[in-house]
Structure 1
């Protein structure tokens, strides 16, 4: 294995600003999963059809009252923000987590607001395909991503010379380099800064009866920001941010600036609207009622791809079905639990970050397994697909391999035709 370890290290060290290891542990595999053109086409068709269902549902969600928003797990501080429609498209970069079981494809969840796994899928996957001399199923989709970013950014900041800032928390290597990758891909005048360099002005600052600073978000140079791209920073975390000195709720102040049109952000507020997994429970509930909101064809799409999802486990206990308990805004498998048909917990993620938040209960499906090559030798792993939905169109596809609960220790497994 010594030769393989050196070979992997040599290969990935040639890719600039990529986190092939995370916290000293192997992340990107020097291995490749062989895919058929037919399977890739099936996944992209599923992505298009599932994405259509979510996008059709979004205007309905914006009309909900605050009580219903709360029942769907959205914090009270976000309710006005949720009703904003600031771009023609609901989400610029979204990712669907899909499972393929023979002739069936099932949706586990949608990350509409802050999906990761971007540079791996759009860029690094092609490098690995070249290494293994295989066709890259994601060829051409990096250009699709660039055009989608350009369309969204120019819509939000149409004036030449607009101050466009890409921001992340710099202590997280994956977040920082994902954000920088998108900035560089865009190829227009913009800058990267970390969130700690930005300043919020909540009320006009007046000196000698003149407004020195109007309300807005300002960069490290004191210039007002027109567009903030915060690809990896979730809104549900942002609302709790406060200034360590003044204790002001700076995250909520930032959201208020968006509401007042003093600042544009991407992904847009509508992406956060689709982020709660409770939306899948709402969609499933309308489907079970055969509600006329969806056409017959749309009901068939929901039946084909969606898993039964509810806001309590009663239906699964009544039917004697195994189910999964997921936090509505959970990420990376954090706080996910699997229950048997009798309601006994049989597996759980060790992290409990979202224990106090609303949970959804989803039909359990066994993830398929595959043999992978790691620096520790061959392993058997569960896997699922991350299929991107870019500006309302199916896009690049990647694979995460790990446990039945896909968490932050899962591997990036490249795919090739």
Structure 2
């Protein structure tokens, strides 16, 4: 009991001194006062594998921009986005993306990419280093914050002289707001909450001072939500915003190509091409897909026939919402209580068990399922870290910082 009180006190003292961070979420502990140590080989492997996986996704985007609308609609893309997702507005497919990896044997499996609106940014690029310092260990993400700053600056400097740059998020969501303010901190720009943006159809998007916006940085606002957005009079302002982007009157970051990759059905396309041993991928790339990707389909038949456990998840969805896990007989084992994304086309992916880790928390010593979040900045490996929680990683999972285990030599 004494050690538990000690944990609580130390955690409060440490995180209580960090401004603009959500150490607790939804009234529950989120950021743990604990650290998981990895050796240098593990760190190097995560970085190398992340870049290989990322290169497969980004290469696939170029193919998807050329396929017929029917294919994209079958994959679950909303019909309103057909022109939008074919746009290529930046040299890169996604400025900031996050891979979700599960340790598997002596390697890792990718369960998805969050290419459009990944969160977990401030935790890994900034907070993780502070925790490492507190625990007296080296930070495996050392130097990544500067790379993030450069990536964000480069993205808003592309192709426009002295642009008016606005960062936006839901003002009342602390995680979204503070993530965006963190990204904005080194960019000559302003923050305008989503509800204060003003749109004039066919003319432009304006900030709360009435100044026309050239570049909108919408790190946490998903396109699949945007297309349903209406104002108080019922005007489809989300679709108007997409029109501005398609007409070249507004640049958004992450770019449209990031939304193209956000769809989890992209992994079914990748796996299908791999099964055919299609020449679109090189021999080396086929080896990577076999090693780092999981069988993924738009139907569950393969898993039922083979007697393989599988996961059913929406093509668009976040934080484990609407995810279901089935056993080898096709019987439901686990389902997330949230069902917000049931309207989207489902994808079916082979189920891989998350490894279990032990960690300290306000509730005592706990066991949890581990998931690695590994960031790519313009396709290059960047910060990574851990979430621990239940079998389905959701928004109640913990943030477990990572440190570098120094080899004795």
Please report the TM-score for the alignment, with normalisation by the length of structure 2: 0.97
Query: Residue by residue, what CA displacement relative to the aligned partner does 1:328-374 show, whole Å, maximum 9, x if unpaired?
Result: 11110001000011111011111000112111000011000110100
What pairs up with 1:360-375 in 2 under 5 angstroms? 360-375=347-362
In 1, Cα distance between the equivalents of 2:197 and 2:332?
44
Query: Which 4+ runs in 1 deviate beyond 3 A?
Result: none
Cα offsets for 1:358-413 (capped at 9, x unmatched) = 11000011000110100010000010100001011011001000011101100000
How far did residue 150 of structure 1 move? 1.0
Q: Determine the structure 2 residue equivalent to 1:127.
A: 130
* Counterpart mapping for 1:282-301 below 5 A: 282-301=269-288
1:78 aligns with 2:66: no
Alpha-carbon offset, residue 180 of structure 1: 0.1
Matched, 1:153 2:141: no
Q: How many residues align?
A: 401
Cα deviation 1:211-256 (Å, max 9, x = unaligned): xxxx000111111000000000000000000011x20110111011
Q: Does 1:376 align with 2:363?
A: yes
Q: 1:56 Cα shift?
A: 0.9
- What is the CA distance between 1:307 and its match in structure 2? 0.3
Among candidates 222, 229, 239, match of residue 227 of structure 2 = 239
Q: Does 1:14 align with 2:2?
A: no
Structure 1 counterpart of 2:294, from 292, 301, 307: 307
Q: Deviations over 1:78-122 (max 9, x none)?
A: 010000000000000000000112302100100000000000000
Tell whether 2:115 aligns with 1:116. no
The answer to whether the aligner puts 1:25 opposite 2:28 as a matched pair is yes
Question: Does 1:202 find its partner at 2:189?
Answer: no
Residue 221, structure 1, aligned to residue 199, structure 2: no
Q: Does 1:3 align with 2:40?
A: no
Q: Deviation per CA, 1:300-346, whole angstroms, max 9, x where unpaired?
A: 01001000000010000010111000111111000100001111101
Q: 5+ residue gaps in structure 2?
A: 405-409
Deviations 1:148-181 (A, max 9, x none): 111111005x312x21100000111000000000
Match of 2:165 in 1: 164
Which of residues 305, 330, 337 is equivalent to 2:324? 337
2:340 to 353, 376, 382: 353
Query: Could you list the per-position Cα deviations for residues 12-57 of structure 1 after superposition, in whole angstroms to 9, with x for gaps in the alignment?
Result: 0111100000121000000000101100111101111001101111
Distance 2:304 2:116 in 1: 32
With structure 1 as the length reference, what TM-score do the two structures score? Answer: 0.95
In the alignment, what sits opposite 1:100?
A: 103
Q: Which residue of 2 aligns with 1:209?
A: none
C-alpha distance in 2 between matches for 1:122 and 1:250 = 34
Instruction: Give 1:182 shift.
Output: 0.1
Distance (whole Å) between structure 2 residues aligned to residue 406 and residue 40 of structure 1: 22
Please, which runs of 5 or more residues in structure 1 have no aligned partner? 204-214
- SS where residue 366 of structure 2 aligns? strand
